[in-house]
Chains A and B, each alone.
Chain A
């Protein structure tokens, strides 16, 4: 309001009316349900496509992890989070070790998009903070669906399949392979 047209009484009454309007608003708000989520005790439901902690998909039918150790995810990763140790080769390839250092991870989802075998996914767990420095390092047993047990079975299955394949091959092929390497 400019000084020339300033009328204190009009100003005062106008102020009182607007103050009253505002107070009606705050009074209504006083009784509205609260929006606070009391986090450690209450949690918001996590959306299904939430980008939380990764997991390696367990294939119940084949009794192994879907991962074949192709390193496409590691190549797609902009921050070099993923490293793995490949187990076997050809049709019966898998991983014996799969390590992610989530201290560098920005949860960009590129590794999940890169995977052609539906092996790596992002889960709903977002509580990854820890007091230990090495807690950002997730090994295969932390990542695999089913944990320690699944990793053991995965390696077992793949080694069994590899052994069967080895047996099924004719003897000269083995010789030839051996000769090649000599």
Chain B
């Protein structure tokens, strides 16, 4: 059935591209609903609450209702805001996330764009997120937003380096920049995570991923208790929804990326590949949320010091280790 449909669309390349784009964009809009629901449930359970319960079975449609509410709300632009940037910022954040999903293989052949430098591409486009956050913070004409934006840039750029270095360790180890290539290597040779240099790389990646998606203990860009809500303070309605969606879609993406790099992507027994991908992703998302609701927030100087004094040297040494072991 699916084969027949894809076969039909492949006769018209432009249409096929359009279909893929629509599917990916809607996936990026829909997956945050699931992730936010899971997040709220886990947050509730950890705090001895029940979480959302009333809309739909066990409250499953609560986030959909919230999203609908956000879409219907008034779109407020603060006086003195730089309107062009203010309008543009949420969409840039969202587009960077959609672009990341574009090269992500969900199962064998289930990839919108087979790219042989997918890893490089992902690292490149995910940095657009930083641009959008700075744009939002700067254009809001609000000191809290600006502080949040500045913190975000400092933090995301600092953590991008150890993250890229740890991803690079995987690239050297598997000898491929293509995500499909990396996963296929793991299908043949076993998951990357079982090799010592990649284990360290995975730990560093995990820490950096927490920082990259602005989650506690690294949620300084939107530290509620210090900065109202950081870079998105002035955003409301649909624009806020886009920021929120892109944040949680990023959360999904960064774990899917980790699954592809370290945990063999779709590789797994019995169950179909797509199920394995989602299983790994949601287990990791659970761990992310578990961490989120455990430690308190760090200070900005602690966070930056941690990145530059510890993570960067360790990931550099680990990269050399991986190269020494991996290059054949």
Contacts and interface: CB of A to CB of B under 8 A. Distances in A.
Q: Decide if A and B are genuine partners.
A: yes
Interface of A: 8-9, 11-12, 18-19, 22-23, 25-27, 29-36, 38
A34 B306 contact: no
B294 A26 contact: yes
B305 A35 contact: no
Contact of B48 (A11, A18, A22, A29): A29
Interface of B: 42, 44-50, 53, 290-291, 293-295, 305-306, 309-310
Given A8-B305, A8-B306, A29-B47, 9 more contacts: A11-B306, A18-B295, A26-B46, A27-B290, A31-B45, A32-B48, A33-B48, A34-B48, A35-B48
A42 to B, nearest CB: 11
Main SS of the interface on chain A?
helix
A22 B46 CA distance: 12
Main SS of the interface on chain B?
helix
Contacts of B48: 29, 32-36
A74 B159 CA distance: 70
A23 B294 contact: yes
A30 B294 CA distance: 11
Contacts of A9: 310
Nearest to B49: A36
B42 A35 contact: no
A29 B47 CA distance: 7
A12 B46 contact: no
Residue among B48, B294, B295 facing the most chain A CB atoms (10 A cut-off): B294
Contact of B50 (A22, A23, A25, A38): A38
Nearest to A18: B295
